[in-house]
């Protein structure tokens, strides 16, 4: 148990009992308990294996390399189509966690083995992400913008590409692009 993480479990949240049960199960794995992103995160040799987090309608275990797990029970969930590696086990009650405890434990240990093996999730290259036509036009018209965009880290590039391409209307895409140009030119990411 890491005292820095205790506050998460002491908080009188909607999922407090569920969090406590998930922690008990997680601690049996012998992994290190750390605080990351405000959540309890369980690591093996400083590599993230899974974390416990909660949302309005459910609490969850998020496996960082969940896409590589052998999901024999077909219960791992990909949060959105853009999440490439992580997968969640979602719970809506303490009883559900108790019912699935053996399966949860199996998935936790398998996640450790995946990390030990060194296998990586094959991620889509930035080039494979959809480029909004409006943004491509801006890049073609403005060489400084193109150079600045290409100088961004792949993760920052993908964030912008997703942000621009998910807008349904051209007008919205144009607006998002215009608002983002100053940040791109400064070498900043979408949320920097």
pLDDT digits (tens, 9 = 90+) for 88-117: 999 999 999 999 999 999 999 999 999 999
What pLDDT does 80 receive?
78
pLDDT of 60 strictly over 90: yes
Residue 20, pLDDT > 80, answer: yes
Read off the DSSP letter of residue 69: S
Closest to 138 measured CA to CA, from 184, 187, 190, 192: 184
Per-residue pLDDT tens digits for 157-178 = 988 998 998 889 999 999 999 9
pLDDT at 123: 76
- Residue of higher predicted confidence among 123 and 4: 4
Q: Tell me, what's the pLDDT at 82?
A: 75
pLDDT of 42 above 80: yes
Residue 166's closest CA among 191, 129, 126? 129
Give the residue with greater pLDDT, 122 vs 38: 38
Total Cβ atoms within 10 A of residue 50: 29
Give 31's pLDDT tier (boundaries 50, 70, 90).
Answer: very high
Of residues 18 and 192, more confidently modeled? 18
For 119-164, what is each residue's pLDDT tens digit? 988 777 778 778 899 999 999 999 999 999 999 998 899 889 989 9
- Mean local confidence (pLDDT), 62-76: 94
For residue 187, the model assigns a pLDDT of: 94
Burial of 16 (0-12, 13-18, 19+ CB in 10 A): middle
Crossing angle of helices 154-165/133-141, nearest 10°? 120
């Amino acid at each position: 148990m890491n005292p820095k993480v205790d506050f998460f479990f002491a908080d009188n949240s909607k999922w407090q009992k569920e969090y406590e049960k998930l922690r008990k199960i997680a601690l049996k794995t012998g992994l290190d308990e750390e605080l990351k992103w405000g959540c309890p995160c369980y690591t093996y040799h400083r590599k993230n294996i899974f974390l416990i987090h909660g949302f309005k309608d459910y609490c969850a275990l998020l496996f960082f390399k969940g896409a590589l797990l052998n999901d024999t029970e077909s219960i791992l969930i990909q949060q959105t189509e853009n999440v490439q590696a992580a997968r969640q086990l979602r719970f809506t009650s303490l009883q559900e966690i108790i019912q699935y405890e053996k399966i949860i434990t199996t998935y936790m240990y398998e996640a450790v083995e995946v990390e030990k093996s060194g296998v990586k999730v094959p991620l889509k290259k930035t080039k494979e992400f959809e480029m909004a036509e409006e943004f491509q036009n801006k890049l073609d018209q403005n060489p400084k913008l193109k150079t600045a965009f290409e100088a961004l880290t792949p993760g920052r590039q993908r964030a912008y590409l997703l942000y621009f391409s998910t807008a349904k209307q051209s007008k919205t895409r144009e607006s998002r692009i215009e608002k983002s140009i100053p940040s791109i030119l400064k070498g900043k990411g979408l949320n920097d």
